[in-house]
Structure 1
Amino acid sequence: MRVLVQPQRFDAAQLLQGFGAGAGAVVTFTGLVRGEDGLVALDIEHYPGMTEKALRAHAEAAAARFGLSDVLVVHRHGHLAVGEPIMMVATAARHRRAAFDAADFLMDWLKSRAPFWKREIGPEGPGDWVAARDDDEDALARW
């Protein structure tokens, strides 16, 4: 299991080398900064130490709940332009359904509860902090 919180871009292919060896299924998801409503970038902040601990605890919970053989969570912080990768999760399990469900479970938690704060940057500069969305909360509630 690996949890990485970092400002630099990541190379998904490199991170996935050897990931899930011996598993029957590996699922990955990479989230990108969307260019909607004039968004130019996101500034993402976090508390070092606290963030990694929270992500690790949730990754461990996913591994136990879905019988995973491996988990990878990568989340970036800092200034991220439209189109840049923000995060990635990868799950490995004996069967595909467990791997897909675990990745979905991790993503729903990351969107709603992970201790990151995002501020939208538009053409005129910094804007609003991103608030929790009802549909993200609804997705998390199904677990």
Structure 2
Amino acid sequence: MIRVTDQPFRISDAVADFEAQAAGAGAIVTFSGLVRPQAEGEDVTTLYLQAYSPMTENGIRNAVSQAQDKWPLTAVQVIHRIGDMSPGDAIVFVATASAHRRAAFEAADFLMDYLKTDAVFWKKEVTPSGTHWIEPRAEDYRDRERWTEEKGS
């Protein structure tokens, strides 16, 4: 269900594994995040991610539990890379399954918002001009707030 790893993974393998795990679902939503080749106008040579285990995994597990409480999910999977990665490498894979599409879409979106803003990861980009620590953007926090606002207010 949750894997934080320094080993590369293939998105196609993750999708196939999840489809088998979610057999019988009416809807499967997957999200794959890749290392961008550029950031702020510079070429990215390496992206480095560090986690604080087991705090990182426990936080993701808690977010998955919240998603399962909020939406009727039949399966969930989160894979997140740590260590050194190159442009084009898969960083994150989030998959959700439910009887209906809306629950699967919203749960996947919720989990990605958690991973972008609150998961315990430190990110550093290496570019020709040096290394740069990356923080969540203001829009990432605004996206996350959608899940704490009451609908219709």
Q: Percent identity?
A: 44
Q: Deviations over 1:31-78 (max 9, x none)?
A: 000111221111100111111111111111111111111100000000
Structure 2: distance between partners of 1:83 and 1:72:
21
1:87 to 92, 117, 127: 92
Superposition RMSD in Å: 1.2
Stretches of 4+ moved more than 6 A in 1?
none
| TM-score when normalising by structure 2 | 0.87
Counterpart for residue 142 of structure 1: 146
Aligned amino acid, residue 93 of structure 1: S
Q: Is residue 116 of structure 2 the alignment partner of residue 117 of structure 1?
A: no
2:68 aligned partner: 63
Deviation at 1:25, TM superposition (A): 0.5
Q: Structure 2: which amino acid aligns with 1:41?
A: T
Aligned residues: 141
Q: Which residue number in structure 2 is paired with residue 15 of structure 1?
A: 17
Gaps of 5+ in 2: 148-153
Amino acid at match of 1:82: P
Runs of 5+ unmatched residues, structure 1:
none
Structure 1 residue 21 displacement after superposition: 1.4
Match of 1:24? 26
Distance in 2, Cα, partners of 1:13 & 1:69:
15
